[in-house]
Copies of this chain bind each other. A is one copy, B any other.
Amino acid sequence: MNQPIDEFSLISNFFKELTSQQDVAVGIGDDAAIINNKTDHQIAIATDTLVASVHFPGDASAEQIATRALCVNLSDMAAMGATPKWFTLSLSMPQELVSTEWLQGFSQGLATVADQYQVSLVGGDTTAGPLTISITVVGEIPIGQALCRNGAKPNDIIYVSGTLGDGAAALHQLTESTLKKNDRLIKRFYQPQPQIDLGISLRDFASACIDISDGLIADLGHLCKASEVTALINSQALPIHDDIKQAFSEQSINWALTGGDDYQLCFTVPSNQQVEFEQWADANNFDVNAIGNMIPLDHNQDYLKIDNQTVSITAGGYSHFK
């Protein structure tokens, strides 16, 4: 039988400072948080759970776990074009981890990301159990401007932000102990950059949007299915970092297509807005690349074609460290 975790003092001691008071009428320390509403906005809600040895290696530091957990959740807000505002944390942890050092590291990791993206922790729940971090992020979006998955139309141009395959390459490094660690990749894994600013700007341009958590094929497949269109992808256009092309020339295309954990945005822009969008992205230093275009869904319901070959959208999925 474990010793009970004293939830009240855990939350007060380690997480209370993460609640800033902007729009928060009642923060941590009551039965629920109370937050103020904007009248011309809708509310966006997304939730995501990370389990030790499934979503991060068992030897990850407390700070790494925390930054990854919050970044991954914020990415869902980016994909909707929402401005993240508040989040709740459910932290289930084994008794042997309950130390001031671990909790300070975890809290510090959360604070780093929360500060960067200006989100406030408004609710916390800690309990004894296997290490599992569940975060729910709540954001705001002007009424009717959410970037949904189902808005893509034939002829729309398909874009991705940043580079693809970094998540898979990082995973490969983390699981192959003999490989020299590449700091850029380790940071991409533990602190992927949710594309919040891009998502907000895309309200003006994008017809549909999704974040790439399970791999381009899987996630773009979801978008195509929701929009009832077929994506034609040019594999030569996939943005892959030079490091990865050089070090892993054989795997890199496959990682870019099916590796998860990139947390970049994949989105569509109507072709008549292509020029304006690309000029805007260039002027504002957003790293986006066109990788293909949409066509009407064929009678076989092939949602994805890469270099004119049909592919299954069931590829991709979870990463496991066990």
Q: Could you tell me which A residues sit within 8 Å of B by CB distance?
A: 1-2, 4-6, 8, 25-26, 29-39, 41-49, 51-52, 54-55, 76-77, 79-80, 82, 86, 88-90, 92, 122-125, 127-130, 132, 134, 136-139, 141, 143, 146, 148-150, 209-211, 222, 226, 314, 317-318, 320, 322
The reply to whether B1 and A322 form a contact with Cβ atoms under 8 Å apart is: yes
The reply to whether A6 and B317 form a contact with Cβ atoms under 8 Å apart is: yes
Across the A-B interface, give the 9 residue pairs with the lowest CB-CB distance, nearest first.
A51-B129, A32-B46, A31-B79, A134-B134, A47-B88, A136-B136, A4-B317, A130-B130, A49-B90
For A32, give its contact among B33, B44, B130 (CB under 8 Å): B44
The reply to whether A141 and B34 form a contact with Cβ atoms under 8 Å apart is: yes
The reply to whether B211 and A31 form a contact with Cβ atoms under 8 Å apart is: yes
Residues of B within 8 A of A55 (CB): 127
For A54, give its contact among B90, B124, B128 (CB under 8 Å): B128
Give the number of copies in the complex: 2
User: A129-B130, A130-B132 in contact; A146/B38 too (CB < 8 A)?
Assistant: no
Question: Measured between alpha carbons, how far is A49 from B92 in the docked complex, in Å?
Answer: 8
The reply to whether B43 and A34 form a contact with Cβ atoms under 8 Å apart is: yes
The reply to whether B80 and A45 form a contact with Cβ atoms under 8 Å apart is: no
The reply to whether B32 and A45 form a contact with Cβ atoms under 8 Å apart is: yes
The reply to whether B123 and A47 form a contact with Cβ atoms under 8 Å apart is: yes
> Closest B-chain residue to A314, C-beta based?
B6
Question: Measured between alpha carbons, how far is A60 from B143 in the docked complex, in Å?
Answer: 43
Residues of B within 8 A of A30 (CB): 80, 146, 148-150, 226
The reply to whether B42 and A35 form a contact with Cβ atoms under 8 Å apart is: yes
> Closest B-chain residue to A128, C-beta based?
B54
For A25, give its contact among B5, B31, B42, B132 (CB under 8 Å): B42
A65 → chain B closest CB, angstroms: 14
Residues of B within 8 A of A38 (CB): 37
